[in-house]
Amino acid sequence: MAEWVRTRVELKGRGFDRWFLDSGRPGYRVVIFGGVHGDETEGVIAAHRIAGTALGLKAGSVTVVPIVNEEAYKADSRLTPADGANLARVFPGRKDGTPTEQIAYALTSDVLLGCDLLIDLHTSGRTLDIPFTIGYIDDGRDRKGLSERAAKVFGADFIWRHPIRPPGRTLNGADAAIYTEAPGAGPTGLDNAIAFSDGVLRVLDELGMLEKPLVPRSSKPAQRIVGGNNVELDPLATRQDGLFIHRSKSGQKVKKGDLLGLVVNLKGETLEEIRADVDGWVVSLKYRPQVTKGEPVAGLAVADDRYPMTRSLGPA
């Protein structure tokens, strides 16, 4: 049986561990990232659960980088402390660039080259409240349709299709790529971490890479949604400084005009109402209350009419 090989990629005082499992047979090459953002611990746990596990791999290969941005992870920070940059916004990076750009370059050249499918494990970190979602890019680059296949079987509550691929994203490193989001602004949720690792195992099984399924297929209905690509910039923004008070929950279905939240002053007096501008689902809410004028606070996505609500089963 093939065994995992663990190696280290060093980058001028920083770097990352890489786990590699090769079946020795033709098949897909899948890459799994955890810890692109250092404050998103569930993906780190899930990636470690996969790395070193006896998968019974019968085809293709699996590469896992459990903590992509170790410096950010140690600081419990979304951003790289050395330069304050967001690793998920600088791909493909630069060999002689900033510390964050160097990490992105190493991942692009040493890990993602030849990758058939990237699975990037994120949660909402400290800043946002986001429901359990699997997202994928539908811009024509993924000619084999691996992204949608993987998203369909993962087992998330929402399957979020993005028609465009914004520049700088981790997902740009592979033609086929999916990412996770889940509630994470409070304490680390082990249930989310296990759901992530189970989802990865379902994807590997869906792609015909495992001798036998290691987890059951999910029978949970998944709502198909489509919408913007940036949970930081696309949401509805405030027109006032103040405190943002939730009047909705992530994952909630809303109609145009429904109240999503309030902006209040320090006496609790309402300065502004944030209301839905479309029928859809709440896919992001700013977690902490302090807001400044123009700050995004609530994001919506709409039903993807290309697909009805589906069960995350994949083909029989």
Helix-strand-coil split of the chain, %, nearest 5: 20, 30, 50
* The last residue of a domain, from among 229, 256, 282: 229
122 in the same domain as 243: no
Task: Please write the tens of the pLDDT for every residue from 255-284.
Answer: 999 999 999 999 999 999 999 999 999 999
Kindly report the average pLDDT of the chain as a whole number.
Answer: 92
Please state the domain count of the chain: 2
Q: How far apart are CA 226 and CA 302, in angstroms?
A: 6
Predicted pLDDT of residue 128: 87
246 in the same domain as 223: no
Instruction: Answer yes or no: is 308 within a domain.
Output: no
Q: In which band, very low, low, confident or very high, does the pLDDT at 188 lie, cut at 50, 70 and 90?
A: confident
Instruction: Answer yes or no: is 312 within a domain.
Output: no
Higher pLDDT, 218 or 134: 134
Average pLDDT for residues 43-62, to the nearest whole number?
96
Task: Please write the tens of the pLDDT for every residue from 140-171.
Answer: 999 999 999 999 999 999 999 999 888 899 99
Q: How many CB atoms lie within 10 A of CB 173?
A: 22
Predicted pLDDT of residue 308: 64
Contact indicator for 161, 225 with CB cutoff of 8 Å: yes
Predicted pLDDT of residue 221: 87
Residue tagged 């700088």 (tokens): 168
* The last residue of a domain, from among 177, 209, 229: 229
Q: How far apart are CA 25 and CA 102, in angstroms?
A: 32
Share of the chain above pLDDT 70, in %: 95
Predicted pLDDT of residue 220: 81
265 in the same domain as 122: no
pTM: 0.94
Q: Which range of residues forms the domain containing residue 242?
A: 236-303
182 in the same domain as 97: yes
Task: Please write the tens of the pLDDT for every residue from 125-148.
Answer: 888 899 999 999 999 999 999 999
* The last residue of a domain, from among 212, 229, 246: 229
72 in the same domain as 18: yes
Predicted pLDDT of residue 315: 32
